[in-house]
């Protein structure tokens, strides 16, 4: 069963929340954090799958995304501290889930930018309620000098134009090379998945694929630096179990290389054997939307099911 709810964050910002309820005996709760230039309802098929396996599923549209993009500015978090406000939004969602389900153990799943927000949440809040986290299509970030250069350019972009205005410059700088990662690509979004129908659906969706604001890119770069900094990663709760998954053809994770980097950084922080990794052959960025997404679904379920 599907339902909606309203969520009020720390700064009284109103957010749209979604719940997919299982009709089976409840095993636990999963919270999904979507990526950039998309929205929570794109995960409905995956949510229904988890429902069929006994899990309650919750998500929300991040600021400037989904229903919020209809009402506010697409691709805009806030005038300042947008990344950290989004982290607070995630806490508000988790608090809501705990209240609804009386859950003391929650699995937090983030895709792409959502995976960076999940990591940022684990760093900032050390929330013992999150016993498992899934990072999908994640990145260890560009070399730090490139990220600092991108941050400088994003600051310039915000000063040269209205910060809420879409930044074609930053979009091209950060994502321009991704389309070229696919040989003979037909659209600039072919790098998302090998499933052409899913790519077409993404392109047709008015709430997907938009160019975000100059301020958003500044927030994104700050967040990427924050969640990849070694001293910050060392703050993750040692009892958290993590599953890091990526496609071998995903340009965001540098064709699976970033998984190894993150595993090396996080493994010493958590208990031994608490970091699992999977690189899926011949899959691109959105492995949950790939042609063989059933195998991805099952691997995530197997990870979540442990001790539930």
Q: What is the pTM of this model?
A: 0.96
Euclidean distance between CA atoms 305 and 302, whole angstroms: 5
pLDDT tens for 25-55 read 999 999 999 999 999 999 999 999 999 999 9
What stretch of H or E contains 186?
Answer: none
Q: Examine the pLDDT at 141 and tell me if it is beyond 80.
A: no
pLDDT tens for 47-88 read 999 999 999 999 999 999 999 888 788 999 999 999 999 999
As a 3-state breakdown, the chain gives helix, strand, coil percent values, each rounded to 5, of 45, 20, 40
Euclidean distance between CA atoms 300 and 306, whole angstroms: 10
Provide the residue ranges of all domains of the chain, joining segments of one domain with +.
Answer: 2-305
Question: What CATH number labels 2-305?
Answer: 3.40.50.1820
Q: Examine the pLDDT at 146 and tell me if it is beyond 80.
A: no
Q: What angle, rounded to 10 degrees, do the helices at 113-125 and 82-101 form?
A: 80
């Amino acid at each position: 069963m599907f339902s909606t709810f309203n969520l009020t964050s720390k700064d009284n910002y109103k957010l749209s929340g979604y719940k997919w309820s299982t009709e089976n005996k409840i095993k636990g709760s999963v919270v999904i954090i979507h990526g950039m230039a998309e929205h929570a309802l794109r995960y409905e098929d995956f949510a229904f799958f988890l429902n069929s396996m006994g899990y309650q599923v919750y998500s929300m549209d991040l600021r400037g995304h989904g229903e919020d993009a209809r009402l506010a500015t697409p691709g805009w978090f806030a005038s300042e501290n947008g990344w950290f406000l989004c982290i607070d939004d995630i806490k508000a969602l988790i608090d809501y889930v705990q209240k609804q389900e009386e859950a003391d153990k929650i699995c937090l799943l983030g895709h792409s930018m959502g995976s960076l927000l999940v990591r940022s949440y684990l760093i900032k809040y050390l929330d013992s309620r999150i016993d498992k986290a899934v990072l999908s299509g994640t990145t260890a970030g560009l070399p730090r000098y490139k990220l600092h250069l991108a941050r400088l350019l994003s600051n310039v972009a915000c000063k040269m134009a209205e910060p809420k205005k879409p930044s074609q410059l930053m979009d091209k700088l950060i994502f321009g090379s991704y389309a070229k990662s696919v040989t003979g690509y037909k659209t600039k979004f072919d790098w998302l998945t090998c499933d052409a129908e899913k790519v077409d659906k993404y392109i047709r969706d008015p709430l997907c694929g938009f160019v975000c604001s100059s301020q958003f890119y500044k927030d994104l770069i700050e967040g990427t630096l924050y969640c990849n900094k070694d001293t910050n990663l060392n703050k993750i709760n040692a009892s958290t179990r993590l599953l890091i998954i990526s496609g071998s053809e995903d340009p965001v994770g540098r064709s699976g290389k970033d998984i190894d980097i993150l595993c090396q950084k996080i493994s010493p922080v958590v208990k031994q054997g608490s970091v699992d990794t999977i690189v899926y052959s011949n899959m691109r960025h959105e492995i949950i939307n790939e042609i063989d997404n059933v195998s991805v679904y099952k691997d995530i379920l197997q990870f979540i099911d442990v001790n539930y």
